[in-house]
Chains A and B, each alone.
Chain A
Amino acid sequence: MSTKFIKSKFWVEDIKEEMMAEVPISVVEPWQKDKELKYVGKPESRKDAYDKVSGTAEYTFDKSFSQIAVAKTLRSPYPNAVIKKIDVSEAIKNKNVLGILTPDNCKDNDWYSGTSKLLDKKVRYNGDEIACIVAETEQDAEEALRLIKIEYEILPHVTDLEKAKLDTAAKINDHELKPREYNRGNLEEGLKEADIIVEDKFSTSVAVHNPLEPHCSVVKWDGEKLLVFDSTQGIWAVRDTVASQLGIPASNVRVIKKYMGGGFGGKLECGKYTVMAALLSKKIGRPVKIVLDRKEMNQAVGNRPSSVQELKIGAKKDGSITAISHNAYGTAGAFPGSAGCSWPARSLYKCPNMKLVDTTYYINAGKDRPFRAPGHVQGTFAFESIIDEAAEKLGMDPIEFRVKNFTAVDPDWNGPYTSKLLREAYIAGADKIRWKENRKKAGFGGGIVKTGYGMASQIWWGGGAPPSYAILKLNWDGSAELVSGTQDIGTGTYTILAQIVAEVLEIPTRKINVVLGDTGVCPFGAMSGGSMTAPSVGPAARDAAEKMLSKLKSAAAAILELSEDKLEYSEGVFSSKDDRSKTADFSKLFGHFREGVLVTQGAREANPEGYAINTFGAQFAKVDVNTLTGKVCVKHVVAAHDIGRVLNRKTLNNQFHGGIMMGLGFALLEERVIDNYTGKLLTTNLLDYKLPTIIETPEIDVIIVSEEDNKVNNIGAKGIGEPAMIPTAGAIANAVYNAIGVRIKDLPITPDKVLNALASKNN
């Protein structure tokens, strides 16, 4: 494969990553707009649907071996303490207890960027890991954990964000979190130019991923080699962390993820539990399984940081925005992390003057992890709320105001977008929900149940980037196997990759097997996050398939004794353009080969130079608000987005509907609650941490306004996981305001906030 190395640039949150990546020298041309595709874009059912509906899909959670032992973790009951003494003598008396890890006998490995240890004698939150016990059964392990005696020196804690801001707050972590500041033009000048200024303060709660399958690993040693089954979105991250934590070569660690029950960002990195299981397994010479329970899931494996956002916008009478000030702060827990959320304010609209400050404070709580559109979900809610306030003050329709401030170039550096159909999304969405006819003045009308309409826009990256590779093996019978080290976490990666290969080789998807999620057999593939997977791995799959087609063509030319340009290809058969009787199908070709399988490797090409690559969209919500009880019921959501080419209408709809419902949960239900007095987590289960159910599901329409984005990669597609969720909460919040004429500025919008707001409005 002829490749070269380039500096690959892409955005991850607000950090511009620049890494070397190996890309193909000759780039595959994207499918042209008018080309009729046979497989790509079609609503094919999932390749793994049978396994899932029959319950035969084996998840990490289901994995077992004979002689397997079970590990459980002891976690700190206190939010801030130093462990003086650990006495495990009672705990290890039971013969069913096989091994134990404590700070006293565990490797002194760094964790959380060196601010903590794998097992640290300083515990910084209720749920911080202290010890891990492996036993014959889960019950044995749990009983033994209760017998560990620990002497703590309990330290003052802080779990309240406002208290954490104070200079007097107890110091939680030595690593200093510096505020991030972004300036464009001159904010003060911009505010002076403005005819109107609106100013407001918004806040959002900490949200927790809570995928249905808990975080879990099953580990098994084979001599010096370690096999790790992990429920992960990033097999390479797990491999590399486990190898370096254990001090063994990366090549001795094989990480496998086949089926997994969701991740949403929480499973992008390696957990302590995986490393502890591997250490214990080595110790006892038996396979070990470790599964987190729902309480641990809510304590210790990541969350979306909270935010408080002070926003100020200045605009001229004609609607043009002259200044934006966004001062945001929040908490990402007790270890280095980021609560930044100002990116939507920076990039959604044209604005010459702005000052954006993001500050993150430590509190004694579990650390953040990326959660479906980190920063953007909370940032978009607040920013799109104040945009509505400005529009109202100007007497403009919210859409009209947004269109007025539309920017055709990336406002950061004035570069063109590969595509931006945001205005088309406004039109399509408004049309579908009948915005003009239905939306009334805020608080309009009487009655107990009031209806409102609202909308919000979305920007995200999602174009993907190199490096990602795929190996394609074509068999003598015309069946093929595509192998790539990415993961399908339920999004449909197996299916779309098969469709892409099918499109190129013109063979049915049922003959294509897709192998993902195994560091032992796969070339490197993108992590499953950030809406990166499809636009990173998809083009590599296509590259591999095109190379296979070239290879076959050259073989067919040799066998038929014709030059390649005299050949045409259709559905597994090469034929001479001049003489239709001269044909070669797979069996004929392979009859001439010594091997029964041909292999090619494809790679993701470089991103185009000089372009900004983004996804855009707008969502519209219709809500009913019961003014007697304060309950909000979302009736209808319309999502209109520019995401390049649709690869599979069925899996795309799934992703959008799921993202919208997650956004609805964030808007109305989900919040992590910590008791500030004791510092303990209160929302430890799925009754107290509330996920939306089928009853909450409104009517949802998904409109894709883009046909393809051929500048972005060879499949013309961008990711959709994050775009689907970003604008939902903002649209719902704006709709609630439109219904009752009083704005709820703190998410989630629970009945108590609505009722209190209505009561204070009536007084």
Chain B
Amino acid sequence: MQRKISLIVNNELVEVEVNPGSVLLDLLRDTLKLTGTKEGCREGDCGACTVIVGKLKNGKIKYRAINSCLYPIGNAAGKHILTIEGINTDSLNKIQKLFYDEGASQCGFCTPGFIMSLTAHLLTHNKLMYDEVVNSVAGNICRCTGYSSIKRAIKELTTEFVSNSYELDDLINKGLVPDYLPGIKERLISINELISERSECLQKHHKIIGGGTDLFVQTPEELFEHDLTFISQNDMCEINFKGNRCFLGSTVTFEMIKTSTELQQYFPMMDDYFKLVASLQIRNSATIAGNIVNASPIGGMSVILLALNASIIISNKEEKKVFHLKDLFLDYKKLNMEKDDIIEWIVFNLPNGKFNFEKVSKRRHLDIASVNSAMYIDDEEGIVKTVYISGGGVAPIPLFLKRACEFLTGKEINKENIIRTIEIAETEISPISDVRGSADYKRLLFKQLLKAHFLKFYPQQIKMGDLL
């Protein structure tokens, strides 16, 4: 099952015979002895293993921070990997110096991960906003410093480099990244040319890997022994618009959606919703189709797409099929899909009306929701034309609340109708007690989230007191 894989790690060409179902972290630490990258959990929860992956696209390298503990080597082929060792030069770079001066490193085990997350942010943003930079390390756990010193280092960084330019030359001049980076592109192009049969074609009985961020947590041993197809290496990674419809390629990552300027026009709060979904490192790897086929009853993407009444385009060797996403989920982790079916596109109409997503978890983010919910509503003079409501964590599947939607359609927005909608919605859900909360609590919380949608949509007409 070994495959020859070529990539560039820091400033070195690496060619190894390796099982593509092993993870990048092991290649770095065990094979290449680059032990500056740490391992704190091996499940993508702590960020100690953060490295930067550069992918060649349209003649440019696009960098992003990822968790190397969940990043399959198969996805690393033909890419540039930057680790803490790769940004060390004769002297400390600016970020390292700030960590040094502010005492932002205590036991130091998490430090390389933080520095790599911040370096990735510099490589991808031309304006440094304090809150955004803080969010870029929200997926990095530190148990010692209490983060305040790290925040101070970030404050200094953003004060000094308000208008960052992510042109490499500029970053090099400012002492933020090493000077060998500009040469990487040409080398990456020649590697990619060498890998002639790079584009992976789907073969029978292969296991399909997208970002791998869930599969490598759940069944790493199994992946090690399977033949794998890495669909993220294909270029199905696009967000297209046709008319008033949006087509999301199946391997589009969460972060691509979060940062899509086109989508932001229709969903001004998109950035906020996705801030609540996983960490940046995971969002940079995790694919939208992966989240859907995972079929988690609490999957954030499914819940959002259900409230957009999305359709999916599925193909296999013989045919292409289109159906509503709400018809995909049959039962707990059971999908209306055949063995060799693969999701190609997710399609939805760009909204005319109002859209909102709510999620409550124990932690403010970087957490699986206890309950989440999305709602789309289109009304005319207070009468509901179209409404889609979804909920996660309240049934064995991501739930489309059919009866509640049917009730509210054509009705006037008022206190009585909202209360009745929530009552009907409550009859459609069947939460269970688990580590994320008791059934009663989830029931109560779901009703609160539905209220939150209406309070956000109709702040003038509806008050909190009306819905108690």
* Interaction A to B: yes
Q: List A residues at the B interface (Cβ < 8 Å).
A: 43, 45-46, 48-59, 61-62, 64, 139, 142-143, 210-214, 259-262, 264, 293-294, 448, 489-492, 628-631, 633, 650-651, 653-654, 656-662, 668-669, 673, 682-683, 685-688, 690-697, 700, 748, 750-752, 755-756, 759, 762
Nearest CB of B to A564, in Å? 40
Partner of A212, one of B37, B143, B360, B448: B143
**B107 CB contact (under 8 Å) in A142, A294, A490, A628:** A490
Given A212-B46, A657-B149, A669-B363, residue A629 in contact with residue B444 (CB < 8 A): no
B233 nearest CB across to chain A (Å): 24
Are B444 and A755 in contact (CB-based, < 8 A)? yes
Smallest CB separation, A658 vs chain B (Å): 4
Please give, as numbers and ranges, the residues of chain A lying within 8 Å of B367 by CB-CB distance.
Answer: 687, 690
B361 (CB) vs chain A CBs: closest residue: A751
Q: A213, A294, A695, A748: which contacts B364 (Cβ < 8 A)?
A: A695
**Inter-subunit contact A759/B444 (CB<8 Å):** yes
- Given A628-B464, A654-B106, A696-B364, decide whether A662 and B143 contact each other with a Cβ distance below 8 A: yes
Which one of A58, A651, A750 lies within 8 Å of B362 (CB-CB)? A750
Partner of B464, one of A213, A448, A631: A448
CB distance from A601 to the nearest CB of B (A): 29
* Chain B residues whose CB sits within 8 angstroms of the CB of A633 once the complex forms: 364
CB-based contact A694/B134 at 8 Å: yes
A669 touches B141 (CB 8 A): no
Q: A62-B35, A654-B149, A694-B134 are in contact. List 15 more A-B contacts (CB 8 A).
A: A45-B101, A45-B103, A50-B100, A61-B39, A212-B48, A629-B358, A630-B445, A631-B360, A686-B41, A690-B362, A691-B141, A694-B150, A695-B138, A696-B363, A755-B448
Of B261-269, B284-292, B435-443, the segment with at least 4 beta carbons within 8 Å of chain A is B435-443
B residues near A693, Cβ cutoff 8 Å: 138-141, 147, 363-366
Q: Give the residue of A46, A59, A630 whose beta carbon is less than 8 angstroms from that of B105.
A: A46
Chain A residue, CB-CB nearest to B448: A628
Bound together, the chains give a CA A100 to CA B277 distance in angstroms of 43
8 pairs of residues in contact across A and B, judged by CB atoms under 8 Å: A46-B100, A212-B144, A293-B42, A448-B455, A653-B148, A657-B148, A683-B435, A690-B367
Alpha-carbon separation in the docked complex, A682 to B146 (Å): 26
Q: Which residues of A contact B161 (CB under 8 A)?
A: none
Stretch at the interface among B110-118, B176-184, B388-396: B110-118
Task: Say yes or no for B127: interface residue by CB 8 A criterion.
Answer: no
From A53, A54, A657, A756, B145 is in contact (CB under 8 Å) with: A657
Assess whether B452 is interfacial by the CB under 8 Å rule.
yes
A143→B81 CA distance, assembly (Å): 30
Known interface pairs A212-B38, A629-B360; A686-B441 also in contact (CB < 8 Å)? no
Q: Please give the distance in Å from B364's CB to the nearest CB on chain A.
A: 5
Chain B interface residue count, Cβ-Cβ cutoff 8 angstroms:
77
Contact B147 A657 (CB under 8 A): yes
CB neighbours (8 Å) of B139 from chain A are 693
Cβ-defined contact, B140 with A694, below 8 A: yes
Nearest CB of chain A from residue B265's CB, rounded to whole Å = 27
Mark interface residues in B446-468 (1 if CB within 8 Å of A CB, else 0): 00110110010000000010001
Q: Which residues of B contact A653 (CB under 8 A)?
A: 103, 148-149
Asked if B103 and A651 sit within 8 Å, CB to CB, the answer is yes
Shortest Cβ-Cβ A-B pairs, 6 listed: A490-B107, A55-B36, A261-B109, A52-B108, A657-B146, A55-B84
Query: Given A58-B35, A693-B365, do A51 and B108 touch, yes or no (CB 8 Å)?
Result: yes
Cβ–Cβ contact B368 & A50, under 8 A: no
CB atoms of A686 and B115 under 8 A apart: no
- The CA of A631 and the CA of B364, in the complex, are separated in Å by 8
Question: Shortest beta-carbon distance, B177 to chain A, in Å?
Answer: 15
Shortest beta-carbon distance from B123 to chain A in Å = 18
User: For B143, what are the chain A residues with a Cβ–Cβ distance below 8 Å?
Assistant: 210-212, 262, 264, 658, 662, 691
A653 and B145 alpha carbons, distance in the complex (Å): 9
Residues of B within 8 A of A490 (CB): 106-108, 144
In whole angstroms, how far apart are the Cα atoms of A244 and B357 in the complex?
A: 60
CA distance A379 to B83 in the complex (A): 44
Q: Cβ of B43 and Cβ of A687 under 8 Å apart?
A: yes
Complex Cα–Cα for A758 and B110 (A):
38
CB pair B109 A654 closer than 8 Å: no
Q: Is the CB of B46 within 8 A of A686?
A: yes
Residues of B within 8 A of A448 (CB): 455, 464
Which residues 134-163 of B sit at the A interface, judged by CB distance below 8 A? 134-135, 137-151
Minimal Cβ-Cβ distance residue in B for A756: B441
**Complex interface bits, B27-46 against A, C-beta within 8 A gives 1, otherwise 0:** 00100010111111111011
Kindly state whether residue B355 has any CB partner on chain A within 8 Å.
no
User: Are B88 and A55 neighbours in the complex by a CB distance under 8 Å?
Assistant: yes
Q: Which residues of A contact B247 (CB under 8 A)?
A: none
Neighbouring A residues of B151 by C-beta, 8 Å: 694, 697
Closest to B445 in A: A755
Q: Does B370 contact A (CB under 8 A)?
A: yes
Cα-based distance from A49 to B149 in the complex (angstroms): 13
Decide: B149 and A212 in contact? CB cutoff 8 A: no
Answer whether residue B85 sits at the interface, using C-beta atoms and an 8 A cutoff. yes
> Is the Cβ of B111 less than 8 Å from the Cβ of A55?
yes
Tell whether B166 is near chain A: CB-to-CB under 8 Å: no
Residue of B nearest to A55 (CB): B36
When A56-B36, A751-B370 are in contact, do A654 and B363 touch as well, CB less than 8 Å?
Answer: no
Docked CA distance A700–B151 (Å): 11
Query: Least Cβ distance of B372 to chain A in Å?
Result: 11
Question: Who on chain A is nearest to B37 by CB?
Answer: A55
B92 at the interface (CB under 8 A from A): yes
Minimum C-beta distance from A268 to chain B (A): 15
Whether the Cβ atoms of B41 and A53 lie closer than 8 Å is no
Chain A residues with CB under 8 Å of B109's CB are 59, 61, 211-213, 260-262
Query: Which among A61, A260, A264 has the greatest number of chain B C-beta atoms within 10 A?
Result: A61
Neighbouring A residues of B107 by C-beta, 8 Å: 211-213, 259-262, 489-490
In-complex Cβ contact of A659 among B146, B358, B362, B452 (8 A): B146
